[in-house]
Amino acid sequence: MRWKNKPEGSTWGDFGADDQLGRLNLLTADRVKRAALEIREGQAFCLSMPLDYPGGNVVNPRRLPPQLKPTLREGKPVFNFPFERMDRQNSDIVSDDLVIMSLQYSTQWDSFAHVGSWFDADGDGTPEKVYYNGYRGDEDICGPKRYDALAAGGMEHDCGEHGGARQLGIENFAVKGVQGRGVVANLRAHYGDAHTAVGYDKLMRVFEADQVEVEEGDMLLLYTGWTDLMLGMNKQPDMKVLDNACCGLDGRDDKLLKWISDSGVAALIADNYAVETHPAKAQEGRRPALPLHHHCLFKLGIPLGEIWWLKDLADWLRAQGRSRCFLTAPPLRLPGAVGSPATPIATV
C-alpha cells in the first residue's frame, strides 16, 4: 500500500490499492445495459462545443485556442495537395493536418492527475503532494526526473520531460469506456442566468420539482446556460458577463459534498467553467481553492466534465418530461494527459 493515512470520507482503496478509475468502476456491464433502455427515439445529441471556443485565452490565460495547420511534405503544405508532384501518374489530391491545443481549452474531461493536495499519506507527520488513491505527485505524477528551475522566483522545481503523468492519466478513462446513464438537472430552468451558487438545498429543489432521480453509477449533467452565453460571444468572451452569470455548484457546502459522496454518482458534468463556482466562497485558514475538484478528483475519484454543450439535450428532455439519456463520452486515449477534449454523445 502506497499510503498509511487516507483523507476522511475518501474512496481510496475501495476499488483496489492500484485503482486509477475511481467511481467509473461503477459503470458495470449491467448498468450500461440498463442505461441503454433510455434509448427510445434513437435521436442523438452532440454535447461538445466547437473546440475553438471560448476563443482567445481570457477564460484561462494558460489555455490557448487550438492551432489547426497542414502537415508538410518536402516543405510544402499538404492541403489540396496533388500527388502528381511525386509521380505524374498519381491522380490523388490530399489534405493532411495537425492541431496544437490545450487539452482543457473547451469541452473536456479532468483526470485525477489534474488536481491533488498536500496530505500526509505516509504518516510521517509531514504533508506531501498526493493525488487520488495515494499516488505521489513527485513520483507517480511528475516522475523521478526533475530539474531545479526558477528557484530565485520561489518555484521548487519543474517536472522533468517524461511526457505527462506517469499514473492517473486520462487514458485510463478511455480504456474503461465512459458509457452509461446520464441524468440531466436543468438548473437554468429554475434559477435563470443569475450568478447562483447551488448548494444541496437548491439542487434538491430542482430534483423534486422535475422528478429527477440519481442512482448509483449515474453520470449527472448540470445545465446552467453558461455555454449558451459564451457561444453567443463569437470567440470574444466577455468575462465581466460570464463571471457574473449562471449557476455553479457551491463547493463549500458540506451538505452538497456529503450528497455527492452518498449518491454514488460516477461522474459530474456541467456546461460551465469548473462545474463549481469559481472563485469559491471565502473561507478562513488552509483550504482548497477548488473545493469541489478536491472532493471529487482527489478524495472520491469522480471525473469532472466541463464546458459541455447541454442546451439541445436539456431542452428536448424537458419538453418530453424526461431527465435521462444514454451517454457515451470517452476522452482521448492519450497516455499521460491530465485532461482531454471530448465529443460526448447522448442518445434518447
Residue 21 CB partners (closer than 8 Å, separation 6+): 15, 172, 173, 176, 301
Q: Is the dihedral of CA 232, 49, 47, 252 positive or negative?
A: negative
What is the DSSP code string of 174-210? HHH--EEEEEEEEHHHHHTTB-EEE-HHHHHHHHHHH
Distance in angstroms (rounded) separating the CA atoms of residues 113 and 130: 10
Residue extents of the structural domains in the chain: 22-57+104-115+168-347
What pLDDT sits at residue 142? Answer: 87
**The listed CATH number (1.20.1250.20, 3.20.10.10, 3.50.30.50, 3.40.1080.10) that belongs to domain 22-57+104-115+168-347:** 3.50.30.50
Pairing outcome for strands 67-70 and 44-46:
unpaired
Longest dimension (CA), the chain: 74
Choose among 308, 250, 306: nearest CA to 282.
250
Could you please report the per-residue DSSP string of 38-77? G-SS--EEE-PPPTT-S-SSSS-TT-PPPEEEE-EETTEE
User: Which regions of the chain are under pLDDT 50?
Assistant: 145-157
Task: Report pLDDT for 22.
Answer: 98
CA 21/CA 133 separation, integer angstroms: 10
pLDDT tens-place string over residues 79-102: 999 999 999 999 999 999 999 999
Distance CA 97, CA 86 (A): 19
Structure pTM?
0.93
pLDDT at 1: 81
Q: For the chain, percent helix, then strand, then coil, each to nearest 5?
A: 25, 20, 50
- Phi first, then psi, for residue 314 (nearest 5°) are -65, -40
Unique residue bearing C-alpha cell 483550504: 287
The pLDDT value given to residue 147? 40
Kind of pairing, strands 81-82 and 76-77? unpaired
